[in-house]
Amino acid sequence: MTRLRRLLAWLFAVVVLIGLTLAGGFLWLRHEIAAPGPLAEEAIVLVPRGQGIEATAATLAASGAIRHPWLLLAASRLEPGGSIKAGEYALAPHVSVLDLLAQLRAGRVVVRRLTVPEGLTVREVLDLVAAAPALEGEVPAPPPEGSLLPETYFYVRSDTRAALVQRMREAMDKALAEAWAKRKDGLPLKTPQEVLTLASIVEKETGKPEERSRVAAVYINRLRIGMRLQADPTVIHALTEGRQELGRELSRADLDTDSPYNTYRNVGLPPGPIANPGFASLLAATSPIDSREIYFVADGTGGHLFAETLAEHNRNVARFRRLRSGAP
């Protein structure tokens, strides 16, 4: 009986010891996966499509984000949840295994951005898309001029260039439809395409936001009375076809260029847009200020001087020439 009691006591002690060991191991493991990791500075890690958690754990260990691959595997079993998602991840310094696992499951990947400035041609926008890092695939064939909305676009690694360009086209369609719906009554613009064309001229004429609707009003007034638009940017487009900057001032000979885009020779709008206008220029074309101005000229400071009469315009031109020559 004494020997049985001793055996039972010994077995109890063994069970208690095993239990304490397991509990201690569990607590140690919980501490390890919740503790700050070894990563000294931010690192970028790519998880390819189709890669399982075992291979990902090995990748993270090789990058120095975790001490051992099995820590991530253990954490995934201790904290049941969704599967990890492919993508490009920016790992914070000393990220814990638990936080890393949560980031991988949530798919909190690196989000990149591409900013398309207003007034670029389609060719120039496609050059930006071609140079954007982490995009995949070829640049698609150039869409029609003016069909890409300038703004900041966000994307992730493995997005395609074709898909990003399509988003730009859809954004322009949406912006143009919104501007067209807000158009003033009585405008001499028959279609959204004509709005897009006028907005592209406004975009190239002025870089000052406060001038857009005023410049648009000048061209609207000229259209109403059948006066030539005489817009320098359209002549530049006729000369360069939107392929590059002109790199010089327009000459008198340039103004005689035989092109449907030369608004010094042709009445009305050119056949189509000369660049990609931003949403503000679209709104300016559909909601110009109320004015009778039909002339404007540069003021030498980046803005313009506006006039209702030719006599007033000639005085503004003379003033600009004096400023450019440095005369008092």
Q: Is the pLDDT of residue 299 over 80?
A: yes
| CA 163 – CA 103 distance, rounded (Å) | 26
Given pLDDT bands bounded at 50, 70 and 90, which one contains residue 154?
A: very high
> Is the pLDDT assigned to residue 245 strictly greater than 60?
yes
Report the C-alpha gap between 252 and 313 in whole angstroms: 19
Calculate the average pLDDT of the chain.
88
Domain boundary among 67, 90, 110: 110
Does residue 69 share a domain with residue 145? Answer: no
Judge if 242 and 299 occupy the same domain: yes
Domain for residue 136, yes or no? yes
Residues 321 and 194 in one domain: yes
Report how far apart, in Å, the C-alpha atoms of 33 and of each of 73, 87, 155, 278 are.
Answer: 10, 22, 31, 49
Pair (211, 313) in one structural domain: yes
| Domain end position, chosen among 110, 128, 151 | 110
Residue 321 pLDDT class (50, 70, 90 cuts) = confident
Same domain (yes/no): 211, 292: yes
What residue numbers bound the domain in which 81 lies? Answer: 33-110
* One domain for residues 256 and 308: yes
Q: In Å, how far from its chain's centre is CA 202?
A: 22
* Domain containing residue 37: CATH number: 3.30.1490.480
Split into its structural domains, the chain has a count of: 3
Residues 63 and 193 in one domain: no
Residue 16: band (very low, low, confident or very high) from pLDDT cuts 50, 70, 90: very low
Q: Are 255 and 313 within one domain?
A: yes
**Does 9 reside within a domain?**
no
**Residue 120 lies inside a defined structural domain of this protein:** yes
Kindly report, residue by residue over 212-232, the tens digit of the pLDDT. 999 999 999 999 999 999 999
Is residue 26 very low, low, confident or very high in pLDDT (cuts 50, 70, 90)?
Answer: very low
Residue 23 resides in a domain: no
The pLDDT of residue 6: 63
3-state secondary structure 39-95: CCCCEEEEECCCCCHHHHHHHHHHHCCCCCHHHHHHHHHHCCCCCCCCEEEEECCCC
Query: pLDDT band at 113, cuts 50/70/90?
Result: very high
What whole-number distance in Å separates Cα of residue 130 and Cα of residue 246? 23
Task: Say whether both 88 and 207 belong to one domain.
Answer: no
Residues 205 and 295 in one domain: yes
Q: In the predicted model, is pLDDT for residue 252 greater than 50? A: yes
Dig out the tokens for 252 from the structure. Answer: 């008198």
318 found inside a domain: yes
**Domain match, 205 and 312 both:** yes
User: Same domain for 189 and 290?
Assistant: yes
Cβ distance 89 to 45 under 8 Å? Answer: yes
Q: How far are the Cα atoms of 26, 29, 296 from residue 40, in angstroms, in the given order?
A: 27, 22, 60
